[in-house]
């Protein structure tokens, strides 16, 4: 039957074309168009079909090559010994099957006529094989050629037979020695991985953002793009790293990855095992990863995999699995290899931390503090062992920066227990009619105006007292110790009150009776009476506490007190424009604008009016003018020896001083305790007077003694 006349053959042809397209994008353009998991799925499907229909196997099939192609703008670099890839084991069953194949092959070798020593090795290994376990780095495979111990050429893997000459770029990678620690006569090729550490990747993308340049999707993509630059000075700026894991001997006939090893040791002897080879590479001055282990049998392999899986997120670089290699190099040689991979090694892959999916829509959620967060609804996809159907897009700027549209195909990442995130948008897969997202101007929950300060990336609902999404947070703040200080009204009680529909807004607290409270879980008659009494006591409060309790953005206790003293009543505050607000000490443009936006929201004023009908607000005390610290602004930082920050602030305020949360040119004193942070450095830069607790007490004492 002709190949083209069957569904299976048509599928094989389609798979070959798609894999070749993905290979070109990944290896040549440094622009991955599919996640590792999706690529592996396509490759395994093609391998299965070729095994089922061997008559339609093609010599140019992607399964018969390592993958990739040489970029036209880089010089080709043939490999004396091909750089092979590794077969994957995606679960415990496939790892066990690998170990079984190795044991079977070595047992067969033991049964065949061989020299006595070789038969003994194979017979021992047939029972329980010894392995060298290493990490599978998410980087770019390279080969370093040393002639008489001096670096002569560096090449990428390319298609396995021919790579790209990247010698000038590799010379800029500081961990790569230009001369080996002791000379190895003739030609020695070191096989290893170029990679980028996570911290360097973050710095690189921050630089790309600052210069409005394209960001890299992941550290592997960044490492590949950096290594294959035509200008080595660019590579030098990217801070790449290198780990060695194999070697090709001087004659080019065998490798540690092919069942042999060169005479790497100072006496010219040959390592007998993969473990010894890694030690020899380390002795030559080559970086070798410390995370390796010798193990015996499948139990040892499983233990290493599980141990590294636990450490994975703490490693400074990305890995996507571990590698199991038969440790004995003579056994490696007898096992040999197939077209594109050795029989004596396998990559035990972790569940993919990245996957591709499609954006179905974008919703906006309102948080407890009023922050609006866009959330993408996705076609459900498994990432890191968890099914992901939605992911936060953080803010409006992030959507615009990534040019994310409804209908786009995206790469989603979930590392460990980290919340999933969109790491890349794939514009090449964008369907016609993909919609740009318009950020709402009204809160999707309560309809209040959405505000965004000029210096912030987060947009917020302005209906803080009214918005149902902010209800619990507003109530908790309102009843807090520094606000109306309603004893017994904490997070658990507020959760019950809101969930039961008993309280919608802060004013509703004062409408509760003991009967309603007694109906709540774990709220007996006495407890209900205590809470009710606390609510009645809280009806008498001060203007500064009331202003603070409203939860206006940027209005802390000190600002609330200054507002109360300046205006004398809430009616006067509500009528003030921004110019009048700026006359209040320590109220700048950002704070004045936030106050005015809160007061301009009609729903907030309705709630304030309801509250005022329940409360008796005492007039504020006038600002002291002749006290020890009158007019002085203090900032507190660190841990003081005997005073808490609240106690120190109370002493300062009682003496007429003002306590601010941020250091500025208006700050007169910084009171610094143990483990003072960035505020101390800023105070030094601005020339602010820095004192400790003893200095503060001295100021207070001096004021009392001279009556100033």
What is the reported pLDDT for 415?
A: 62
What is the reported pLDDT for 473?
A: 84
Q: Clarify whether residues 398 and 341 are in a common domain.
A: no
Q: Clarify whether residues 126 and 56 are in a common domain.
A: no
Residues 183-214: tens digit of each pLDDT:
888 888 999 999 999 999 999 988 888 887 87
Q: In what order do the strands lie in the sheet with 140-147?
A: 150-156, 140-147, 187-196, 240-248
Q: Clarify whether residues 279 and 174 are in a common domain.
A: yes
Using CA of residue 116, residue 118, residue 121, residue 123, what is the dihedral sign?
Answer: negative
Q: Clarify whether residues 613 and 464 are in a common domain.
A: yes
145 vs 4 pLDDT, higher one: 145
What is the reported pLDDT for 73?
A: 64
Strand 421-425 to 409-413 pairing: antiparallel
What is the reported pLDDT for 644?
A: 86
What is the reported pLDDT for 16?
A: 87
What is the reported pLDDT for 122?
A: 42
The mean pLDDT value for 562-577 works out to: 91
State which residues form the domain around 207.
88-349
Percent of the chain with pLDDT over 70: 89
Q: Clarify whether residues 504 and 565 are in a common domain.
A: yes
Q: Clarify whether residues 601 and 670 are in a common domain.
A: no
CATH code for position 401: 2.40.50.140
What is the reported pLDDT for 630?
A: 76
Residues 387-397: tens digit of each pLDDT:
899 999 988 99
pLDDT at 707 over 50: no
Residues 335-355: tens digit of each pLDDT:
988 877 899 999 999 887 788
CATH code for position 12: 1.10.287.610
What is the reported pLDDT for 235?
A: 81
Q: Clarify whether residues 11 and 160 are in a common domain.
A: no
pLDDT at 622 over 70: no
pLDDT at 35 over 80: no
CATH code for position 643: 3.40.50.10190
What is the reported pLDDT for 266?
A: 63
The mean pLDDT value for 495-523 works out to: 89
The mean pLDDT value for 101-113 works out to: 84
Asked, for residue 286, whether it belongs to a domain, the answer is yes
Q: Clarify whether residues 477 and 591 are in a common domain.
A: yes
The mean pLDDT value for 169-174 works out to: 86
Rounded to 5°, the CA angle 335-341-346 comes to 80
691 Cβ contact list (under 8 Å, min separation 6): 669, 670, 671, 672, 699
CB 397 within 8 A of CB 452: no
Q: Clarify whether residues 330 and 361 are in a common domain.
A: no
| pLDDT tier, 502 (very low <50, low <70, confident <90, very high otherwise) | very high
What is the reported pLDDT for 67?
A: 47
What is the reported pLDDT for 106?
A: 92
pLDDT at 123 over 50: no
Q: Clarify whether residues 476 and 591 are in a common domain.
A: yes
Asked, for residue 76, whether it belongs to a domain, the answer is no
CATH code for position 598: 1.10.150.20
- Residue position matching structure tokens 């392999």: 301
Residues 414-459: tens digit of each pLDDT:
765 567 889 889 888 899 989 999 999 999 988 988 988 777 888 9
Average pLDDT of the residues of the chain: 85
What is the reported pLDDT for 650?
A: 81
Catalytic residue among 136, 325, 349, 679: 136
SS (H, E, C) 133-148: EEEEECCEEEEEEEEC
| pLDDT tier, 708 (very low <50, low <70, confident <90, very high otherwise) | very low
Asked, for residue 141, whether it belongs to a domain, the answer is yes
Element (H, E) at 103: helix 92-111
> Of 618, 651, 670, at which residue does a domain stop?
618
Residues 72-97: tens digit of each pLDDT:
567 888 888 888 889 999 899 999 99
Asked, for residue 36, whether it belongs to a domain, the answer is yes
Asked, for residue 74, whether it belongs to a domain, the answer is no
What is the reported pLDDT for 705?
A: 46
What is the reported pLDDT for 120?
A: 43
The region of weakest confidence among 334-343, 547-556, 623-632, 656-665 is 623-632
pLDDT at 179 over 50: yes
CATH code for position 257: 3.30.470.30
pLDDT at 702 over 50: yes
Q: Clarify whether residues 331 and 474 are in a common domain.
A: no
CB 47 within 8 A of CB 142: no
Can 325 be counted among the known catalytic residues? no
| pLDDT tier, 27 (very low <50, low <70, confident <90, very high otherwise) | low
Asked, for residue 79, whether it belongs to a domain, the answer is no
Number of domains in the chain: 5
What is the C-alpha to C-alpha distance for residues 544 and 542, in angstroms, rounded to an integer?
5
| pLDDT tier, 119 (very low <50, low <70, confident <90, very high otherwise) | very low
pLDDT at 251 over 60: no
Q: How many CB atoms lie within 10 A of CB 232?
A: 15
| pLDDT tier, 358 (very low <50, low <70, confident <90, very high otherwise) | very high
Residues 264-306: tens digit of each pLDDT:
766 667 889 999 999 999 999 899 999 999 999 999 999 999 9
State the pTM of this model.
Answer: 0.54
Q: Clarify whether residues 35 and 152 are in a common domain.
A: no
230 Cβ contact list (under 8 Å, min separation 6): 73, 74
What is the reported pLDDT for 655?
A: 81
Asked, for residue 8, whether it belongs to a domain, the answer is yes
Asked, for residue 198, whether it belongs to a domain, the answer is yes
The mean pLDDT value for 578-583 works out to: 91
């Amino acid at each position: 039957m002709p190949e083209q006349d069957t569904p299976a053959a048509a599928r094989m042809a389609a798979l070959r074309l798609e894999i070749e397209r993905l290979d070109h994008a990944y290896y040549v353009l440094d622009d991955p168009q599919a996640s590792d998991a999706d690529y592996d799925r396509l490759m395994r499907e093609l391998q299965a079909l070729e095994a089922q229909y061997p008559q339609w196997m093609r010599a140019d099939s992607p399964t018969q090559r390592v993958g990739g192609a040489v970029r036209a703008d880089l010089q080709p670099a043939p490999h004396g010994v091909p750089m092979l890839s590794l077969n994957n084991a995606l679960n415990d069953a496939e790892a066990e099957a690998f170990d079984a194949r190795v044991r079977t092959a070595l047992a067969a070798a033991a049964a065949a006529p061989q020299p006595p020593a070789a038969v003994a090795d194979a017979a021992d290994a047939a029972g329980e094989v010894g392995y060298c376990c290493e990490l599978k780095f998410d980087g770019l495979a390279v080969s370093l050629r040393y002639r008489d111990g001096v670096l002569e050429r560096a090449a990428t893997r390319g298609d396995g037979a021919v790579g790209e000459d990247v010698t000038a770029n590799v010379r800029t990678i500081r961990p790569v020695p230009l001369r080996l620690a002791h000379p190895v006569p003739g030609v020695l090729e070191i096989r290893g991985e170029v990679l980028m550490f996570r911290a360097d990747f973050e710095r690189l993308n921050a630089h790309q953002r600052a210069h409005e340049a394209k960001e890299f999707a992941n550290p592997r993509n960044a490492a590949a793009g950096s290594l294959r630059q035509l200008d080595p000075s660019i590579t030098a700026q990217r801070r790449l790293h290198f780990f060695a894991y194999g070697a090709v001997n001087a004659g080019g006939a065998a490798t540690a990855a092919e069942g042999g090893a060169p005479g790497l040791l100072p006496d010219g002897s040959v390592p007998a095992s993969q473990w010894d080879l890694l030690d020899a590479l380390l002795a030559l001055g080559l970086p070798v990863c410390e995370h390796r282990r010798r193990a015996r049998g499948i139990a040892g392999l499983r233990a290493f995999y599980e141990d590294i899986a636990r450490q994975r997120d703490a490693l400074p670089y990305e890995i996507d699995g571990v590698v199991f290699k038969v440790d004995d190099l003579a056994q490696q040689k007898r096992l040999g290899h197939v077209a594109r991979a050795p029989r004596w090694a396998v990559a035990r892959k972790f569940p993919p931390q990245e996957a591709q999916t499609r954006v179905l829509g974008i919703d906006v959620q309102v948080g407890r503090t009023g922050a609006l967060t866009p959330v993408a609804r996705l076609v459900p996809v498994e990432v890191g062992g968890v099914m992901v159907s939605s992911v936060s897009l953080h803010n409006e700027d992030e959507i615009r920066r990534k040019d994310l549209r409804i209908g786009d195909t995206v790469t989603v990442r979930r590392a460990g227990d980290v919340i999933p995130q969109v790491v890349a948008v794939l514009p090449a897969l964008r369907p016609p009619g993909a919609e740009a997202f318009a950020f709402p101007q009204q809160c999707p929950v309560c309809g209040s105006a959405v505000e965004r300060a000029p210096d912030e990336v987060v947009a917020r609902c302005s209906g803080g007292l009214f918005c149902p999404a902010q209800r619990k947070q507003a109530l908790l703040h309102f009843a807090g110790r520094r606000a109306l200080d309603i004893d017994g009204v904490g997070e658990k009680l507020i959760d019950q009150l809101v969930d039961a529909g008993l309280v919608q807004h802060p004013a509703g607290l004062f409408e509760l009776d003991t009967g309603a409270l007694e109906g709540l879980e774990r709220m007996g008659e006495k407890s209900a009476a205590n809470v009710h009494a606390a609510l009645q006591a809280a009806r008498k409060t001060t203007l500064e506490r009331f202003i603070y309790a409203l939860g206006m953005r940027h209005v802390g206790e000190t600002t609330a007190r200054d507002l109360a003293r300046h205006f004398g009543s809430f009616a006067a505050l509500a009528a003030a424009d921004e110019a009048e607000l700026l006359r209040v000490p320590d109220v700048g443009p950002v704070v004045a604008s936030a106050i005015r936006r809160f007061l301009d929201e009609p729903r907030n004023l309705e709630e304030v009016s309801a509250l005022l009908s329940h409360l008796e607000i005492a007039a504020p005390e006038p600002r002291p003018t002749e006290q020890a610290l009158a007019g002085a602004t203090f900032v507190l930082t660190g841990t003081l020896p005997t005073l808490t920050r609240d106690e120190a602030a109370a002493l300062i305020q009682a003496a007429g001083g003002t306590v601010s949360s941020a250091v500025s040119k208006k700050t007169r004193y910084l009171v610094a305790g143990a483990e003072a942070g960035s505020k101390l450095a800023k105070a030094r830069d601005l020339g602010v007077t820095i004192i400790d607790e003893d200095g503060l007490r001295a100021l207070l004492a001096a004021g009392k003694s001279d009556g100033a």
